[in-house]
Amino acid sequence: MKAIIQRVLKASVTVEDEVISSIGPGLCVLIGISKDDSKKEAEYIARKILNLRVFDDENGKRWNKNVMDKQLEVLCVSQFTLMSILKGNKPDFHLAMGPGKSEAFYQEFLTLMKTSYSEDKIKDGKFGAYMQVNIQNDGPVTIPIESTSAKPNKESLQESSST
């Protein structure tokens, strides 16, 4: 799994000219799911997102509070393109989990986020839809994280080059 975590003043997701989800201050997280991901990776990424200290504390001390400490919202957006590798100048998505399996995995990830924090604080886009994601970065602060399964190994790269 890969996650691009962005501290935001606000963020929203629009599908077919309709805003389907929005948050105020908090985190907007783009989520990429690898074909090799398991519950272990989902737990690791969820824990990192929720515990990442990217907010100031009440005394102005930087990098001292996480999204839960501040009771802020998290907008998660599934983005299979995070799992791309380049074949020349063309992206290849061979390492991404397939659409059927990844949708169930993503829903389980969202459930994990909600049970680890608060159901009403976790928002998401629309899986598999063509979305417009509007993000007003704060800082900007952007932190990429990935689980070990997100790092391509030699076998995965060889499979990709032969397809």
Coil, strand or helix: which one is 3? Answer: strand
Mean pLDDT rounded to a whole number for the chain? 94
The answer to whether 97 touches 37, Cβ cutoff 8 Å, is: yes
Query: 108-132: per-residue pLDDT in tens?
Result: 999 999 999 999 999 999 999 999 9
Provide the pLDDT for residue 152: 60
80 is catalytic: yes
- Work out the end-to-end distance of the chain between its first and last CA atoms, rounded to an integer number of angstroms: 22
pTM of the model: 0.90
105 is catalytic: no
81 is catalytic: yes
Q: Where are the domains of the chain?
A: 2-162
Kindly indicate the confidence band of residue 148, based on its pLDDT and cuts at 50, 70 and 90: confident
The CATH topology of domain 2-162 is D-tyrosyl-trna(Tyr) Deacylase; Chain: A; (3.50.80)
* Active-site entry in 6, 55, 80, 109: 80
* Active-site entry in 71, 81, 107, 115: 81
* Active-site entry in 55, 79, 105, 109: 79
Percent of the chain past pLDDT 90, that is, above it, reads: 89
